[in-house]
Amino acid sequence: MSHADFQLKGSTITVVVLDIYRYLPDSFSTQLEQKILQAPQFFANSPVLINVGKLTNDGSPVDFRLLIKQCSELGLQPVGFKGASDEFASAIADTGLASLPDSSASVRAVSFEAPEPATQADPEVQVEIKTVVQEKVVQRPSKVITRPVRSGQQVYAEGADLIVLSQVSEGAEVLADGNIHVYGALRGRALAGVYGDTEARIFCQQMDAELVSVAGNFLLSESLDESIRKQSAQVYLQDDTLKVIPL
């Protein structure tokens, strides 16, 4: 009996979604670079889905190959387009990247609201960064990880809390539909309540995270109070504001 050389499987992954409302090549590169510099480790080599569902360019043609090149030069990895209208469909097809329908049934977005850059940029050029996870939630017991989550690894607790009995290393990512408990140092990225559970929380024995998020509300490392660093802490959402306090 012969064995298959490959197997196709469904998967849950996180990607960066780049929402573009108007595309002007010069100001686009400038603004995107400013966004990336606010969290360079978070965006480094990240796969990117370019959402053009709300793109209006006043009838002007859009050079999508140049758009892809600009993203790649800034360290992002475009994997496809989303929400292309008939106006842009042919030009996007010529790029060779995937074109996905603008459907909210298969994904939900978790917004990354980065602070405004200090330098003045063209107000008509808007770039929004989001993280999305494929929607497939079922209720399950807590997912328990007994070993360290090492740099480059990603652990996702689907429909459950995530419990890590060791550390989460720099460059690692842990995600959960519910709460996240880290019984060690949290140095990587932790995203709880990824499908909008505003009651989710993050708990850790040592707070030194690159990024923490609850229900799409993000806080970057440089925004953490120095008094909380390397201390046991919890992260929760209150009145649409992310709070990080000692345990």
Q: Is residue 1 part of a domain?
A: no
DSSP conformational letter for 5: S
Residue 172 and residue 69 in one domain: no
pLDDT digit string, tens, across residues 177-210: 999 999 999 999 999 998 888 999 999 999 999 8
Given a contact cutoff of 8 angstroms between Cβ atoms, the answer to whether 167 and 146 are in contact is no
Whether the full predicted model's pTM is greater than 0.85, yes or no, is no
Give just the sign of the alpha carbon dihedral 199, 201, 117, 43: negative
| Six-digit token string for 153 | 């690894």
Lowest-confidence pick of 49-53, 140-144, 174-178, 205-209: 140-144
Q: What DSSP letter does each residue of 161-226 carry, written as one string?
A: -EEESS-B-TT-EEEESS-EEEEEEE-SEEEE-TTS-TT--EEEEEE--SEEEETTEEEEGGGS-G
- Of 42-51, 155-164, 217-226, which has the strongest mean pLDDT? 155-164
Residue 102 and residue 148 in one domain: no
Given a contact cutoff of 8 angstroms between Cβ atoms, the answer to whether 137 and 159 are in contact is yes
Residue 47 and residue 82 in one domain: yes
Q: Say how many domains are in the chain.
A: 2
Contacts of 140 (CB under 8 A, 6+ apart): 157, 158, 159, 160
Q: Which range of residues forms the domain containing residue 19?
A: 14-134
Q: What is the CATH number for 53?
A: 3.30.70.260
Given a contact cutoff of 8 angstroms between Cβ atoms, the answer to whether 93 and 153 are in contact is no
Question: Given the DSSP bridges, would you call strands 180-186 and 162-164 parallel, antiparallel or unpaired?
Answer: parallel
Q: What is the CATH number for 193?
A: 2.160.20.70
244: helix, coil or strand?
strand
64: helix, coil or strand?
helix
Share of the chain above pLDDT 70, in %: 79
Contacts of 115 (CB under 8 A, 6+ apart): 38
Residue 106 and residue 174 in one domain: no
